């Protein structure tokens, strides 16, 4: 199950990167730089909102958040294991909680930088 989810995610990421690169080339050549930076700033704001929502879910009830997250990607119950299973001992719930928190904070930092950088450069371009 995990392998197929990772393969789909990889395909989506590659597609997004290609579309982003094409969009940047097209807008850069047509002198729409201000629009690019304004859009980047707005994307940063959207990212902040989404990450805060995820971090709230992690902080309030990680177990339920974890179950909902897995319910989106895996067949019902296929991701549940016994406490004694090797996977659970190798990758305990605390690891995933800390991983979500670290990734959320890192993404939040990048989004905040993008908001301010995007606004600043958009003002210079006008």
Q: Return the domain boundaries, the chain.
A: 1-30, 31-125
User: Rounded to an integer, what distance in angstroms lies between the CA atom of residue 9 and that of residue 11?
Assistant: 5
Tokens representing 100 are: 């979500």
Residue of 102, 112, 97, 110 lying closest to 59 (CA atoms): 97
pTM: 0.71
Residue tagged 């094409």 (tokens): 22
Condensed to tens digits (0 to 9), the pLDDT of residues 4-50 reads 888 998 999 999 999 988 887 887 777 777 888 888 899 999 999 99
User: Rounded to an integer, what distance in angstroms lies between the CA atom of residue 125 and that of residue 56?
Assistant: 36
Residue 91, by phi and psi: left (phi above 0), alpha (psi -120 to 50) or beta? beta
Confidence of residue 110 (pLDDT cuts 50, 70, 90): very high
């Amino acid at each position: 199950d995990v392998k197929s989810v990772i393969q789909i995610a990889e395909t989506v990421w590659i597609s997004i990167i290609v579309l982003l690169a094409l969009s940047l080339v097209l807008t850069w050549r047509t002198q729409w730089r201000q629009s690019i930076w304004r859009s980047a700033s707005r994307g940063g704001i959207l990212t902040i909102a989404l990450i805060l929502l995820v971090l709230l879910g992690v902080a309030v009830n990680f177990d339920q958040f974890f179950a909902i997250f897995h319910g989106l990607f895996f067949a019902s119950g296929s991701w549940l294991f016994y406490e004694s299973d090797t996977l659970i001992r190798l990758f305990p719930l605390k690891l995933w909680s800390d991983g979500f928190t670290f990734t959320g904070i890192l993404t939040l930092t990048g989004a905040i930088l993008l908001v301010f950088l995007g606004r600043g450069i958009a003002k210079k371009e006008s």
